[in-house]
Structure 1
Amino acid sequence: MAKATQKITMNPSENIPFDKLVLSQKNVRRIKNGVTIEELAADIAHRRLLESLNVRPMLDEKGGETGMFEVPAGGRRFLAIEFLVKQKKFAKTDTVPCVVNRSDRTSAEEDSLAENFHRERLHPLDELRAFKTLTDQGLEIEQIASRFHVTPAYVRQRLKLASISPKLLALYEQNEMRYDQLQAFSITDDQARQEQVWETVSRSQVKEAYYIRRLLTETAVRATDRRAVYVGIEAYEAAGGVVMRDLFEQDQGGWLQDPALLEQLVFEKLKVDAETLKTREGWKWVEAALDFPYGHTSGLRRFYGEPREMSGDELARHDAIKAEYDRLDAEYAETEDYSEETESRLDELGSALDALNERPYAYDPAEVARGGAFISVGADGQLKVESGFVRPEDEPVRSNEAGDEAYDEDRGDDGHVATAGNGVSANGKQVSPEGEEEDDGVRPLPDRLVLDLTAARTLALRNALAGDATMALIAVLHAFVLKTFYVSSSNSCLELTVQSATFGQTQGLAETPWAKEIEQRHEEWGHDLPKEPDGLWAFLLDLDEVSRQALFAHCASLSLNAVVEPWNKRPRALAHADQLARTIGFDMVEAGWAPTVDNYLGRVTKARILEAVREAKGEQSAQLIDHLKKPDMAREAARLLEGSGWLPEPLRPAPSSQVVDAVDDVVDEPVEDTPADTASELPAFLADQAQISADDTEAGDGDHLQAAE
């Protein structure tokens, strides 16, 4: 005979006056967590009590009920109602719905633990649908956040999930996708793109949220990009541009979805800024571009302005700020305690002094009328202005010493001065084409005699200069500075050629730390040097030895050229560059170079990318990315190589023996012009290129693929 299943009976529900309830000390919740009592009280006042209190009758010594009840489960609700009683929003004699437990089957502590333990937080998709329903009912995000005691950002995050493809939401609901992965897809509202990216990710070994975000934003522009900073997000959006935002992660302003529109806005703004600069400062020309190639000012003479003098008010303000800074700094130095307020005030005063000391420059109006400026967008998104350049065709035509007629100061490669008028000048006398004097005085010396005499003087002067090392250094420095800073000047008797190679074909060089240091150093010297080359010799004589050596090093450094060009191998020069680098302890890793997508990884084949990762991180790391498409492989490789110190072969320091061998090979065996012979003399990275060139030549003329997979 089957045994009947015993039916359960629920605890009865009663309405009990609040003043008959007492908070039990057997409640297991001791630590405050989540919504505060005040917030819960506000919620109860708005929607009334949604969940009854769990109470037990209090017994006397004989085991009889006293009419009072303790609350072991629902203590926070009890305290919230008590808070409403204190605010006189709820009478203490009013009743509260309670579930009364008169059974001794469980203890009060167990009931308290069970009520708090057997709870399941709403699934994020359930929250999404609930919040969406409330917004459809007319509630604002701030109202929802206030009523459910969460931040408005939390509500926006849940509502943002509604932009995700239903297919992906279903995968998440079925636990086939993690929540952080789902969050990453909320960056874009393009559901087709979301599904496409998930197909890619599901076949990849890399399924992290950061990778999903990267794929979704690979065609967008970061809000921190210099172009976006220069134009401004508000201007971009006003022009119809859309910004993708990540509500779940710090996105630094998001991503701009329309790069073409952004480029258009950049060029329009640059055009306006160029016209404004030209009109305001009176330049003859102003060229504007997002970027200029490195060395774009080569061949142009540059002149520098003088800092504008302070006005009387500015001087008075400067002196007052300086006095306060000195006083406060002296007082602070005597105290041992740290003062954030004093530190802040000193920083504020220091910034004010810097602003006053950084004076705008005033230029010679005559130079401005023939000169110009370049404007571009700096790495920080601010307008970059390079002012004070004169093109050769705009250089002034100066008169000769006698003031007879005008002639250009520039001279030909042979060093001879161009003649003026129909005659020639010799010893200050004007001579007719037939060689006859225009007066009855002494005839000028014959040209051949002048040549012979001055040749003798040149040799004697050479010999004298060789005996004075200091003057020889100054003379060479004088020639270097003339060629480096005064471009077309020929005020030196030393026939030295100083060339500075430009690298206009290499993008991004101007933003490297090395280029910025060189530019800053060059500009500082440019401000210190005399405006006219005639005063340079005296300036160099007055320089102290340390400054003179620093200037010499700067000018000499600008002539260094270690570029490997396919049409100009220069093995001896390159070997010397390696010797020089080794002697001064130069290393590209220490200099700050690291492989990126732009400077290396995105410009080589997949095999080269894998080779780099394999050399730096091992075979296992290379296998992690060997299945990816090239753009994704390059980005992941850059992340893996970060901080590894890996260098491609052209940047690695050459061993001492290799440098010596390279020079010896050149001396013993002249380099042939044929690709095969050239390749045998070159390092591996150049030999590969030479072989490719030879193969291309044999195949015939055609388009050459770069970084082909």
Structure 2
Amino acid sequence: MTKAVRKITLSPSRDIPFDKLVLSQSNVRRIKAGVSVEELAEDIARRGLLQSLSVRPVLADDGTETGKFEIPVGGRRFQALSLLVKQKCLAKTPPIPCIVRDAASDILAEDDSLAESMHRVALHPLDQFRAFVALRDKGQSDAEIAAAFFVTPQIVKQRLKLASVAPALLEVYAEDGMTLEQLMAFTVNPDHARQVQVWDVIHSSWNKEPFQIRRMLTETSVRASDRRAVFVGVEAYEAAGGTMLHDLFQGDDGGWLEDPALLDRLVTEKLHAKAETVAVEGWKWIEVALDLPYGYSHGLRSLSGDPAPMTDDEGADHAKLLAEYRALEEEYAGQDEIPDGIDTRLGVLETEMEKIETRPLIFDAEEIGRAGAFVTLDRYGALAVYRGYVRPEDEPVDVTAVQDGADPAVAGQGDDRDLTDGYDSAAHAGTVIMSGGQPIGGDLPEDEDDGALKPLPERLVIELTAHRTLALREAIGRSPDVALILLLLKIVTDTFRTSSASGSCLEASVRHIYMPAQASDLKDSVVAKLVDERHAPERSRGA
């Protein structure tokens, strides 16, 4: 038996004057959500009413129609029209397209209102993206699109950014194969091949979080917050032809630099340029390095300089800051808590005074001629220059010690030292700038034979040293107390000395252990500074 097909009769449509319409108390929507009434009114004013109202006749107590119509479906549209009438943008009696439900219908007004709201499906983000792209392709700007749909230009930019995702991945997203957050993560790198490659790796993995996708897509790039990028500057990097990656969907600390090789070249060039300015000060050598390891100054003697005096202006500024600081301290001395604003101001004053009090060191000109400096970056990407370090081979030499063979550090070295003026004559021949221990510019100073005193022949020095060593062995063997003291002296001297010209004949050694793999900021760590502070007094005595 064939089942009878139910015939459907649609409600008729007609135009009803605006002043004949009233809101229905049967509308189930009570809480505001989505686009505001004001924004909806603005949109209707721009493009007109896109959807008819669903209305029912208002009946009198005796069941007759009153000529008024209530609106159970479309209340927000009616409110927007009312706002336009109030603003005199719309007449009071214009015809409004409506779908008129029969007053005797079995379907309740609340039923219609609920169905209209529940059956509404939000636009898929991918459809929104494609619509934005279509509007942009037809000449609309991001700002115009944003204004038309009452969103911010940033949201439009984000949706349009989805165009940088590979079409294959957009299809995966359309089929619910990935989340919107995962799709947005792929926009960080516009390389479609790399995007697909990353998805192929992670789509069956347990770790498919957006942050993992971003990490894989930027693993060969350098963050803009990296100290190298801070030192060079993103603008300089881009001016040199470098390209950037940006994430429009979350904070990216300025983005990523795509060309690490270019960045490293710019860092090297800028460090070398800075080293040239430091070389003007007259140092014998300058070591340029992106990272200085912990213990970089081991075996070098540190010069003691005098702080440069303040200028009159600096002194006046410091006195003014100090006066304000003391006045605030006295004013709030008796209070349990200092107001946040005052506490912040005290911190600013301390910082400003510390900047003035931190004076550059002035070194002896003769010492500068035999010493060197290190040019590097600190952990924050700022230039760091460590001045005043003397290598053992550049220490002043005692002529008498060389002649009697007491200084093994210079014995047998030939004619490469000028013993008349007390230090290496090459110190005045120009600064040697090095990187990795190798000169990077200029020529090494040439040795000159200016008639200076020559060391004793190497064979004679060796024979005399052998005699003296044997005699010392015999003497120490008869004095255990002296031997113990000499051993302690040797160990302490090798640990804290900054010069190799110790003159000791005792063969005992202290082995320093340095970490071959270390973080670039190890030398600036709290523990490293504590060790340096504890050793500083001994080093100063050893110097």
1:633 corresponds in structure 2 to none
Q: What RMSD, in angstroms, separates the aligned Cα atoms of the two structures?
A: 4.2
2:223 corresponds in structure 1 to 222
1:616 corresponds in structure 2 to none
Question: Which amino acid is 2:108 matched to?
Answer: S
Shift of 1:135: 1.0
Is 1:74 the counterpart of 2:83? The answer is no
Report if the CA contact (8 A) 2:305-2:364 is conserved.
yes
2:99 corresponds in structure 1 to 99
* Separation in structure 2 between the aligned mates of residue 410 and residue 13 of structure 1, nearest angstrom: 118
| 3-state SS, counterpart of residue 188 of structure 2 | coil
Query: Structure 1, residues 648-697: CA drift from partner, whole Å, max 9, x if none?
Result: xxxxxxxxxxxxxxxxxxxxxxxxxxxxxxxxxxxxxxxxxxxxxxxxxx
Report if the CA contact (8 A) 2:496-2:538 is conserved.
no
Report if the CA contact (8 A) 1:171-1:177 is conserved.
yes
Question: Which amino acid is 1:520 matched to?
Answer: K
| 3-state SS, counterpart of residue 388 of structure 2 | strand
Report if the CA contact (8 A) 1:27-1:72 is conserved.
yes
1:582 corresponds in structure 2 to none
Report if the CA contact (8 A) 2:11-2:101 is conserved.
no
1:234 corresponds in structure 2 to 235
Is 1:38 the counterpart of 2:1? The answer is no
- 2:499 pairs with one of 462, 487, 500: 487
Q: Residues 667-686 of structure 1 correspond to what in structure 2 (within 5 A)?
A: none
Q: Residues 83-162 of structure 1 correspond to what in structure 2 (within 5 A)?
A: 83-103=83-103, 104-162=105-163
Shift of 1:479: 8.2
2:433 corresponds in structure 1 to none
Is 1:503 the counterpart of 2:504? The answer is no
- Aligned pair in 2 of structure 1 residues 345, 27: CA closer, same or farther (>3 Å)? farther
Report if the CA contact (8 A) 1:145-1:155 is conserved.
yes
- 2:526 pairs with one of 511, 517, 529: 517
- Aligned pair in 2 of structure 1 residues 342, 406: CA closer, same or farther (>3 Å)? same
* Separation in structure 2 between the aligned mates of residue 240 and residue 112 of structure 1, nearest angstrom: 60
Shift of 1:30: 2.9
| 3-state SS, counterpart of residue 525 of structure 2 | helix
- Aligned pair in 2 of structure 1 residues 23, 106: CA closer, same or farther (>3 Å)? same
- Aligned pair in 2 of structure 1 residues 144, 490: CA closer, same or farther (>3 Å)? same
| 3-state SS, counterpart of residue 109 of structure 1 | helix
Is 1:360 the counterpart of 2:360? The answer is yes
* Separation in structure 2 between the aligned mates of residue 115 and residue 408 of structure 1, nearest angstrom: 109
Is 1:412 the counterpart of 2:408? The answer is yes
1:380 corresponds in structure 2 to 380
* Separation in structure 1 between the aligned mates of residue 6 and residue 71 of structure 2, nearest angstrom: 32
Query: Structure 1, residues 460-515: CA drift from partner, whole Å, max 9, x if none?
Result: 9969x99xxxxx9xx97998479525334649x997967462537x2334423x76
Query: Structure 1, residues 183-212: CA drift from partner, whole Å, max 9, x if none?
Result: 232222222222222222245444333333
Report if the CA contact (8 A) 1:485-1:526 is conserved.
no
- Aligned pair in 2 of structure 1 residues 392, 44: CA closer, same or farther (>3 Å)? same
* Separation in structure 2 between the aligned mates of residue 503 and residue 135 of structure 1, nearest angstrom: 61
- Aligned pair in 2 of structure 1 residues 80, 503: CA closer, same or farther (>3 Å)? same
* Separation in structure 1 between the aligned mates of residue 406 and residue 136 of structure 2, nearest angstrom: 78
* Separation in structure 2 between the aligned mates of residue 221 and residue 408 of structure 1, nearest angstrom: 59
Shift of 1:136: 0.8
Question: Which amino acid is 1:501 matched to?
Answer: H
Shift of 1:522: 6.2
Query: Structure 1, residues 350-386: CA drift from partner, whole Å, max 9, x if none?
Result: 3323333333333333322332211223333222322
* Separation in structure 2 between the aligned mates of residue 313 and residue 478 of structure 1, nearest angstrom: 50
Question: Which amino acid is 2:499 matched to?
Answer: V
* Separation in structure 1 between the aligned mates of residue 505 and residue 111 of structure 2, nearest angstrom: 100
* Separation in structure 1 between the aligned mates of residue 338 and residue 144 of structure 2, nearest angstrom: 45
* Separation in structure 2 between the aligned mates of residue 407 and residue 74 of structure 1, nearest angstrom: 109
- Between stretches 228-237 and 303-312, larger displacement belongs to 303-312
* Separation in structure 1 between the aligned mates of residue 282 and residue 117 of structure 2, nearest angstrom: 77
| 3-state SS, counterpart of residue 287 of structure 2 | strand
Report if the CA contact (8 A) 1:372-1:387 is conserved.
yes
| 3-state SS, counterpart of residue 10 of structure 1 | coil
Shift of 1:177: 3.1
* Separation in structure 2 between the aligned mates of residue 353 and residue 197 of structure 1, nearest angstrom: 53
Is 1:371 the counterpart of 2:371? The answer is yes
| 3-state SS, counterpart of residue 78 of structure 2 | helix
Q: Residues 50-61 of structure 1 correspond to what in structure 2 (within 5 A)?
A: 50-61=50-61
Aligned residues with identical type, % of pairs = 44
Q: Residues 310-709 of structure 1 correspond to what in structure 2 (within 5 A)?
A: 310-329=310-329, 331-332=331-332, 334=334, 339-397=339-397, 411-412=407-408, 480=492, 484=496, 486-488=498-500, 490=502, 499=510, 501=512, 503=514, 506-512=516-522, 516-517=525-526, 519-521=528-530
* Separation in structure 2 between the aligned mates of residue 160 and residue 86 of structure 1, nearest angstrom: 40
Report if the CA contact (8 A) 1:270-1:376 is conserved.
yes
- Aligned pair in 2 of structure 1 residues 26, 385: CA closer, same or farther (>3 Å)? farther
Report if the CA contact (8 A) 2:395-2:499 is conserved.
no
- Between stretches 292-301 and 121-130, larger displacement belongs to 292-301
Question: Which amino acid is 2:526 matched to?
Answer: E
Query: Structure 1, residues 200-240: CA drift from partner, whole Å, max 9, x if none?
Result: 22454443333333332332223333322322222222222
- Aligned pair in 2 of structure 1 residues 481, 165: CA closer, same or farther (>3 Å)? same
Using the size of structure 2 for normalisation, the TM-score is 0.75
Shift of 1:241: 2.0
Shift of 1:130: 0.7
| 3-state SS, counterpart of residue 250 of structure 1 | coil
Shift of 1:155: 1.7
* Separation in structure 2 between the aligned mates of residue 25 and residue 335 of structure 1, nearest angstrom: 62
Report if the CA contact (8 A) 2:27-2:113 is conserved.
yes
Q: Residues 278-289 of structure 1 correspond to what in structure 2 (within 5 A)?
A: 278-279=279-280, 281-289=281-289
Which structure carries more relative contact order (alpha carbon 8 Å, separation 6+)? 2
* Separation in structure 2 between the aligned mates of residue 111 and residue 391 of structure 1, nearest angstrom: 92
Shift of 1:86: 4.2
Using the size of structure 1 for normalisation, the TM-score is 0.59
- Aligned pair in 2 of structure 1 residues 515, 96: CA closer, same or farther (>3 Å)? same
Query: Structure 1, residues 218-272: CA drift from partner, whole Å, max 9, x if none?
Result: 3222333332232222222222222222333333333322222222222122222
Report if the CA contact (8 A) 1:476-1:494 is conserved.
no
Report if the CA contact (8 A) 2:494-2:509 is conserved.
no
Shift of 1:11: 4.2
Question: Which amino acid is 2:84 matched to?
Answer: L
Report if the CA contact (8 A) 1:479-1:496 is conserved.
no
Report if the CA contact (8 A) 1:301-1:391 is conserved.
yes
Report if the CA contact (8 A) 1:510-1:516 is conserved.
no
Question: Which amino acid is 2:521 matched to?
Answer: E
- Aligned pair in 2 of structure 1 residues 323, 35: CA closer, same or farther (>3 Å)? farther
| 3-state SS, counterpart of residue 114 of structure 2 | helix
* Separation in structure 1 between the aligned mates of residue 194 and residue 148 of structure 2, nearest angstrom: 35
Counting matched residue pairs gives: 484
| 3-state SS, counterpart of residue 225 of structure 2 | coil
- Aligned pair in 2 of structure 1 residues 460, 174: CA closer, same or farther (>3 Å)? closer
* Separation in structure 1 between the aligned mates of residue 80 and residue 335 of structure 2, nearest angstrom: 51
* Separation in structure 2 between the aligned mates of residue 27 and residue 338 of structure 1, nearest angstrom: 57
Question: Which amino acid is 2:512 matched to?
Answer: A
Report if the CA contact (8 A) 1:293-1:507 is conserved.
no
Query: Structure 1, residues 318-367: CA drift from partner, whole Å, max 9, x if none?
Result: 33333433443555565567844334333333332333333333333332
- Aligned pair in 2 of structure 1 residues 117, 310: CA closer, same or farther (>3 Å)? farther
* Separation in structure 2 between the aligned mates of residue 338 and residue 34 of structure 1, nearest angstrom: 46
Q: Which has the higher helix share?
A: 1
Report if the CA contact (8 A) 2:490-2:506 is conserved.
no
* Separation in structure 1 between the aligned mates of residue 140 and residue 241 of structure 2, nearest angstrom: 28
Shift of 1:390: 1.6
* Separation in structure 1 between the aligned mates of residue 42 and residue 493 of structure 2, nearest angstrom: 78
Shift of 1:134: 1.0
